[in-house]
Amino acid sequence: MPEGDSPTVARRRVRLAIRVAREQADLTQAQVAEEMEWSLSKVIRIENGDVSISPNDLRPLLSYLGVKDKSAVAALVADARIARTRQRQAWFQTPEFRENLTDATRKLIEYEHEASRIKSYAIYYVPGPLQTPDYAKALMTRFEEELTPDQISRRIEARKLRRESLLSRAESGEVTILVMLDESVLRRTIGGPTIFAAQLRELRELIAKGTITVRMVPFSLDAAVTNNASFDLLTLGEGEVLYRETGLGDEMLEDRDATGKHRARYARVWEEVADEATTLAFIDRQIGLLENPA
C-alpha cells in the first residue's frame, strides 16, 4: 500500500499538523474547543489520535489555526478522508475490541500494520505477537484479579490476530523485527514446562527461518535498556513511535526526545548483548532442560 494511502500514516500526519499549528498559534486545546464549539475531550482525542477528524471539521479548524496554504490544506483534507473511510474496516476498531483493549494497545496494533522496522525489548515475557496461543492464555490468566473474562478473551484473540498479520509481513520482507529478550524471559516457565518449551520451539523456528532476529541480554551483562519497562520502537513512513508497557499499564509516545533516547540506548545495548548464535544455543539448552529435566 503506498504511504499516501495508509490510514495510519494519514491520520498521524493530520493530527500532528493540527498540534503543531495550534502550538505555533499559541492556543490551548481549551481555546480551540471553545472556538470550534466542541468539547475539550474531542480536541484531546483528535490530537492523541484516538479519533479521526472529518474533512468538514478540519477545514474550519485549519483556518482558525492559521493554516492558509491551499495545497497544504488540500493534502491534509485528503489525508483526513482516507483516515476516516478506511479506519472503520480495521478489526481492532470494532466494539468488542475497543471495549477490551487499551487505547495504547489499539494504536500499537494499527502502527504494526504500517511499520517498516520494529525493535522490541522485553524484560518479563515473550512479546505479544510472538506468543503461542497457549503461552498467551497462561500469561493472561495470571491477571484474573485485574482483568475481566471478556478482557482476557479479547486480548488473547488480539494477540493471535496481531501475530498472523505481523509475522506475515515479516516473512514477506515488509517489516524487519529485532528483539532483545532479558535472560529471565527465556527462563520463566509461564504455563509450565510443556507450554513454555513449545513457546521456545516457536521462537527457535522463527529465528531459524529468518522471520525475526533475537538477541539475549544475559544476567552477566549490566546493560539493561530500561529499568522496569518493556517497549516497542516502531519506524513508520514518517518518524517513530514508542509503545511502553509496565505490568498492566501501557502508553504510546511520539515525542522525538523519548523515541530518540530509546533508539540510541537500544542500538548501544544491541551491540553488547549475546549475539544471535549464542542466543539460539541458549534457547536450545533451555528446551532440552524442559523436555528432559533429569
CATH number of the structural domain spanning residue 80:
1.10.260
Q: What is the pLDDT of residues 101-134, one digit of tens each?
A: 998 999 899 899 889 999 999 999 999 999 999 9
Secondary structure (3-state) at 271: coil
Say whether both 100 and 209 belong to one domain: yes
| Distinct helix (H) and strand (E) counts, the chain | 12, 6
Residues 150 and 9 in one domain: no
Does the pLDDT of residue 237 top 80, yes or no? Answer: no
The predicted pLDDT at position 75 comes to 92
Domain boundary residue, one of 50, 65, 89 = 89
Give the end of a domain, one of 56, 89, 122: 89
| 69 and 191 fall within a common domain | no
144 and 274: one domain? Answer: yes
Residues 40 and 97 in one domain: no
* Measured distance CA(98)–CA(96) in Å, rounded: 6
Query: How does pLDDT run across 204-231, given as a tens digit for each residue?
Result: 999 999 999 999 999 988 766 766 789 9
pLDDT(172) > 70: yes
- The two beta strands, 176-182 and 213-217, are parallel
Check whether residue 109 and residue 73 sit in a common domain.
no
Q: Can you give the residue range of the structural domain that contains 16?
A: 3-89
Average confidence score pLDDT of the chain: 90
Same domain for 164 and 270?
Answer: yes
CB-facing half-sphere around the CA of 181: CA atoms within 13 A: 26
Whether the pLDDT of residue 151 is over 60: the answer is yes
The C-alpha cell 530509546 sits at: 262
Question: Do both 218 and 107 map to the same domain?
Answer: yes
CATH number assigned to the domain comprising residue 225: 3.30.870.10
pLDDT at 4: 45
Looking at the fold, whether 215 and 184 belong to one and the same domain comes out as: yes
Q: How many residues does the chain have?
A: 294
For residues 175 and 84, state if they share a domain: no
Please state the domain count of the chain.
2
Put simply, whether the predicted model's pTM sits higher than 0.85 gets the answer no
DSSP letters of 93-138?
GSHHHHTTS-HHHHHHHHHHTT-SEEEEEESSS--GGG--HHHHHH
Last residue of some domain: 53, 72, 89? Answer: 89
Considering the domain architecture, whether residues 116 and 73 belong to the same structural domain is answered as no
